[in-house]
Structure 1
Amino acid sequence: MNKTMADAGAFKLRQTAGKPLWRKGLSGGLKTLLLLYAALTLYPLYWLFISAFKTNRDFFDNPYGLPAAWKADNIARAWELGQMGRAMFNSAVVTISSVLLTLLLGTLAAYVLSRFTFRFKSIVTGIFLLGMLIPIHSTLVPLFITMNKIGMLDTYASLILPYAAFELPVAIFLTMAYMASIPREIEEAAMIDGNGWWGIFGRIIAPLCLPVLATVTIMAFLRFWNDFSFALVFINSQELKTLPLSLSLFSDGFGTDYSLTMGAMAVAVIPTIVIYLIFQEQIMRGMVSGSVKG
């Protein structure tokens, strides 16, 4: 009897001791997979930056290795020949203006649609969300004709307004879904304290929506910063050309100067990385929001 109990106790002890090891092994394997995924994700960025310092010959002879001789003047030549300083300024003006306009209109529309009840609310919501089904590039010709008639072509507004308009459905959809998770008791308490609707929106709802607004900002910034087709069609003057248009100067019908192209792309991608690093904390909060109650 005592031997049986001792054996059972030893078995339970081994079982209890084995669980942490099993969990540690699973955790270690998961971390290894995440490290491999991170390496695969970051490798294209690494390849871009090392390619920016190669000659054209080195780019083809040794595409994946380090440069045989680091050619630092690729970036300087690309900056000068592509007039990237002016192009980056134009892209910054267009992108920042479009993002701010998208956030302002999208947040206000989402606030009304998610917190108020009125006639034809479902129809209005459906019209906004229907915009996500419209192929953006199918509107280039009618937009060009319209802007040409009203004299808006070759201006910052010819890019800012279409960018914001086509990004609004996504911004409204995401922000509405996030606002729906905010308890209405918070608004009622704010009203008791003497806040009106604008006070509730500016002091409570908007700050609580920072995670989803950061997500919308990143998505909109990437789309606006990298857009080529709208800028190609609506912008003609050299003074207003955006960064994607300046990158196209290094490629023609006869060939591509890869050393200059990679140097220019390395410079163009830096603002995107900086914006992501600024908003990464808010994005992480948005990803885990709702996973813990209270």
Structure 2
Amino acid sequence: MELRTTQATGANLDSHNRKLVKKGLSGLGKLVLIGYAIFTLYPLYWLFISAFKTNEDFFNRPYALPLVWMRENIFRAWELGKMGKAMFNSTFVTISSVILTLILGILAGYVLSRFQFRFKRVAVSLFMAGLLIPIHSTLVPLFLMMKEMNLLNTYGALILPYTAFELPIAIFLAMGYMASIPREIEEAAMIDGSGWWGVFGRVIFPLCTPIVATISILAFLRFWNDFSFALVFINSQALKTLPLSLALFSDGFGTDYSLTMGAMAIAVIPTIVVYLILQDQIMKGMVAGSIKG
């Protein structure tokens, strides 16, 4: 009887110790995640507090809150950088490129993931080869092509290259995601009388919301922040995008950091808003393609 009692007590102690270890590891994990979140978000915090400092305060107290909150930095940056027009240009180019990328990428991904046809592997290989091309190595030939096509200093000079270079990753993600959708869903829709376009529009595309969000945010970040293509292909002040407007606050003699930080704070807000809106769908889209349904 005493032996059984001793064994039961030992088992309870072991169970209690295991629970304590699990709680400790869980707490440690949470602390690590909190530390990582702080480490990741601190640059953003530093950017926003720097946007309200004077140049003197920026250099003398780089990590502290502003002595005087210079709200006029935001308004001066907006006015001097002509950021209203630049914001419109970036928004138009980015949204147009994202929509075109989604249309072509989702359709191509659907065909390549659901149909068997001759030279399919060749087509997939060609699209995937686009992931290996260094984008900036194509600036000179693209410039010559744009010049011959009279596309320089137009929105098309940015929209077309953006879409072309984003399509490989869009198709790759769409193919992986659509391969996880059970084919029985398509067969049921076909039995109900839907054609291929009906199956795609009413069945497949509505199920692709997570991957559409993933492709959208990845493309948005790339297009919104691009500097090199806009610098080479756009010379007209009326068509300059936000990254080009940010460069106006720096010249060969110095940089006005208070206005630069104010302009950067303005430019980063749309990116944050888009990510916060789509974050749940992005996480679903990134993992769904690895699970075969």
TM category (shorter chain) comes to: over 0.9
By how many angstroms is 1:289 displaced? 3.1
Change (3 A) 1:281 1:134: same
By how many angstroms is 1:288 displaced? 4.5
SS of the residue aligned with 2:251?
A: coil
Moved more, 114-123 or 144-153: 144-153
Q: Which amino acid aligns with 1:210?
A: T
Paired residues of 2:227 and 2:244 also in contact (CA < 8 A): yes
Q: Deviations over 1:192-251 (max 9, x none)?
A: 111111111111111212111211111100010000110011111111100000000000
Q: Distance in 2 between matches of 1:203 and 1:289?
A: 20
Query: Does structure 1 residue 148 correspond to structure 2 residue 147?
Result: yes
Q: 2:179 corresponds to which residue? A: 180
Paired residues of 2:176 and 2:289 also in contact (CA < 8 A): no
By how many angstroms is 1:113 displaced? 0.5
Q: Report how many residues are paired.
A: 293
Change (3 A) 1:216 1:94: same
Q: 1:274 corresponds to which residue? A: 273
Q: Distance in 2 between matches of 1:164 and 1:288?
A: 24
Q: 1:252 corresponds to which residue? A: 251
Q: Distance in 1 between matches of 2:24 and 2:290?
A: 25
Unaligned runs of 5+ in 2: none
Change (3 A) 1:249 1:167: same
| TM-score, structure 2 as length reference | 0.97
SS of the residue aligned with 1:236?
A: coil
Q: 2:228 corresponds to which residue? A: 229
Q: 1:283 corresponds to which residue? A: 282
Q: 2:159 corresponds to which residue? A: 160
Change (3 A) 1:171 1:193: same
Q: 1:139 corresponds to which residue? A: 138
Runs of 4+ in 1 over 4 A off after TM superposition: 290-294
| TM-score, structure 1 as length reference | 0.97
Q: Following superposition of structure 1 onto structure 2, how do residues 82-93 of structure 1 map, counting pairs within 5 Å?
A: 82-93=81-92
Change (3 A) 1:56 1:129: same
Change (3 A) 1:293 1:104: closer
Change (3 A) 1:118 1:226: same
Change (3 A) 1:170 1:292: closer
Q: Distance in 1 between matches of 2:275 and 2:195?
A: 34
By how many angstroms is 1:287 displaced? 4.0
Query: Does structure 1 residue 47 correspond to structure 2 residue 43?
Result: no
By how many angstroms is 1:293 displaced? 8.1
Q: Distance in 1 between matches of 2:44 and 2:249?
A: 20
Q: Following superposition of structure 1 onto structure 2, how do residues 1-294 of structure 1 map, counting pairs within 5 Å?
A: 2-289=1-288
Q: Distance in 1 between matches of 2:211 and 2:70?
A: 42
Q: Which amino acid aligns with 2:206?
A: P
Q: Distance in 2 between matches of 1:275 and 1:266?
A: 15
Moved more, 154-163 or 141-150: 141-150
Unaligned runs of 5+ in 1: none
Q: Distance in 2 between matches of 1:287 and 1:198?
A: 26
Q: Distance in 1 between matches of 2:276 and 2:93?
A: 21
By how many angstroms is 1:286 displaced? 2.3
